[in-house]
Amino acid sequence: MPVEHDEFRSVARHELQGDAIAVLSGRPLLPNTGIPLNLDWVRDVRVNTSAVERRAQSHIARRTVKKEWQAAWLLRAITCMDLTTLSGDDTDERVRRLCAKGRHPLQQELEQKLGIEELQIKVAAICVYHAFVETALRALEGSGVHVAAVSAGFPAGLSPLAERVNEIRRSVEAGAQEIDVVITRAHVFGGRWQALYDEVAAFKQACGSAHMKVILGTGDLLTLRNVGRASVVAMMAGADFIKTSTGKEPTNATLPVGLVMTRAIREYAQQTGMAVGFKPAGGIRTAKQSIDWLAMIKEELGPSWMRAEMFRFGASGLLGDIERQLEHQATGRYSADYRHPMA
């Protein structure tokens, strides 16, 4: 059945309101500035893989959100979305169209049906290659939507360190407000934690005031213990966000990986009093999956993480399915995919 406007607006406002700062167990947290590398902490990281996998399976089975609350959570998912185009055939025109979609992710007719025009729903950021930073900035001017640039030898991270650092600086100088960097996975395989720490710290310095999201490439890291240890080192080195994947690996964001990373974030916050954001990326394509991830964030880190400042989806195809679900909420009918083009 279609949602009732007044009731839905009330629920949506409630869900879209967030704490101004991250809070854990009633304790306000500071932004992450990093700490000296603590190798004992890193070596003490242990992960019970079978237990994590069982927990992820049970999470999907027992967590659900219905009716107007589901629609409100889907609106929240849109506001936490980094709309992304990272293809070899990207063009300025494609980026401009994606930016237009980011500014107005829902069709005006659908907003009117839901009665949410006043909420001014928009995505958190548009994520592009360095070559398109200036194009995106012009297209998004005055919108409040950030421009994120992938950097540091994306997606493999195997170019010389000096080149990767310079690439970050160029994107920041071009105006990117957020930088998504990739680590050298070989540092993780070899247990070279000092090298990994120094690499991420160099990236952080190059980012300056821009927010740094550190991509671990979890699909390449082989074990959940590696994921946990790499997460801790990246946070110690000053990561503002830790991110699962480039979207180019054979396996990208999975809930077991998400559980390991969010629990590392929680432990880091408890030990240091500093908050780090989380971004799952790659393979998240359905509205149901977005709800699963939001529910996990709420359970593991609390409601203050359920906002764009602390949580992002890296997505290129997710928005279309969310639009279809919202259309169903508004009208009781599903619309065809072609009615919700990305760009």
Annotated catalytic residues are 180, 243, 279
Helix, strand, or coil (residue 279)? strand
- DSSP code of residue 107: -
Q: What does the CA dihedral 34, 37, 41, 43 come to, rounded to 10 degrees? A: 140
Residue 315's H or E segment, with its range, is: strand 313-315
Question: Which residues, listed in sequence order, are joined to residue 314 by a DSSP beta bridge?
Answer: 82, 281
Q: 231 — phi, psi (to 5°)?
A: -60, -45
CB atoms within 10 A of CB 58: 10
Question: CA torsion angle for 5, 6, 10, 12 (degrees, to 10)?
Answer: 10
Helix (H, G, I), strand (E, B) or coil at 195: helix
DSSP symbols for 244-262: ---S-SSS---HHHHHHHH
166 φψ region: left (φ > 0), alpha (ψ -120 to 50), beta (else): alpha
Residue carrying structure tokens 């306000």:
28
Closest to 179 measured CA to CA, from 162, 196, 165: 165
Give yes or no for a contact between 126 and 147, defined as CB atoms under 8 angstroms apart: yes
User: Which phi and psi (to 5°) does residue 127 adopt?
Assistant: -110, 125
